[in-house]
Structure 1
Amino acid sequence: MLEPNGPLSPEIYWRRRALAIGVIAVALAIVIWLVAMVARGGESAGAENAAASTTTTAESTTSASATTSAASSTPSSGSQTPSATTAADQPPAPPCADQSLALKVSVGQPTYRVGDQPSFGTVITNISSAACSRDLGAGPQFLVYTLDGQRRLWASNDCNPEDPPETKTLEAGQQLSYKGTWFGTTSQPECAGDRLQVPAGAYMVVAQLGAARSAAEPFNLVAS
Structure 2
Amino acid sequence: MLHPVGELPAGVYWRRRALVLGIALSVAGGGGWLAASVGSGTTPVTPAASSDSAAEPSLDTPSLEQVVPSLAAVQTPAEQTPLESAPVATETAPPPVAPAAGPVEGQACTDDMLAVDVVPAAPQAAVGTKPTFTLVVTNIAGVSCTRSLDAGLREVVLLDAAGTRVWGSNDCFPERSSEPRTLAAGEAVSFPVQWGGLTSEPTCTVTRANPPAGAYQLQGRLDTKVGGATPFTLV
TM bucket (normalised to shorter chain) is 0.5 to 0.7
- For the residue of structure 1 that corresponds to 2:107, the secondary structure is coil
Root-mean-square deviation over aligned CA pairs = 1.9
Aligned pairs (5 A) from 1:1-224? 93-138=106-151, 140-149=154-163, 151-222=164-235
Structure 1 residue 154: Cα displacement: 0.7
Measure, in 2, the Cα distance between the counterparts of 1:168 and 1:110: 30
- For the residue of structure 2 that corresponds to 1:183, the secondary structure is coil
Structure 1 residue 116: Cα displacement: 0.6
Measure, in 2, the Cα distance between the counterparts of 1:115 and 1:132: 40
Larger radius of gyration: 2
Measure, in 1, the Cα distance between the counterparts of 2:197 and 2:216: 11
Structure 1 residue 185: Cα displacement: 1.0
Q: What are structure 1's unaligned runs of at least 5 residues?
A: 1-91
Provide runs of 4+ in structure 1 moved above 3 Å: none
Partner residue, 1:70 = none
% identity of equivalent residues: 39
Structure 1 residue 142: Cα displacement: 0.6
- For the residue of structure 2 that corresponds to 1:189, the secondary structure is coil
Contact 1:147–1:218 (Cα < 8 Å) also in 2: no
Total equivalences in the alignment: 130
Measure, in 1, the Cα distance between the counterparts of 2:167 and 2:208: 9
Measure, in 1, the Cα distance between the counterparts of 2:112 and 2:146: 13
Counterpart amino acid of residue 102 in structure 1: A
Measure, in 2, the Cα distance between the counterparts of 1:161 and 1:207: 15
Measure, in 2, the Cα distance between the counterparts of 1:181 and 1:122: 11
Structure 1 residue 123: Cα displacement: 2.0
Comparing both structures, which one devotes a greater share of its residues to helix?
A: 1
Structure 1 residue 125: Cα displacement: 1.0
TM value normalised by structure 1 = 0.53
Counterpart amino acid of residue 146 in structure 1: D
Contact 1:205–1:217 (Cα < 8 Å) also in 2: yes
Q: What are structure 2's unaligned runs of at least 5 residues?
A: 1-104
- For the residue of structure 2 that corresponds to 1:148, the secondary structure is coil
Contact 1:102–1:126 (Cα < 8 Å) also in 2: yes
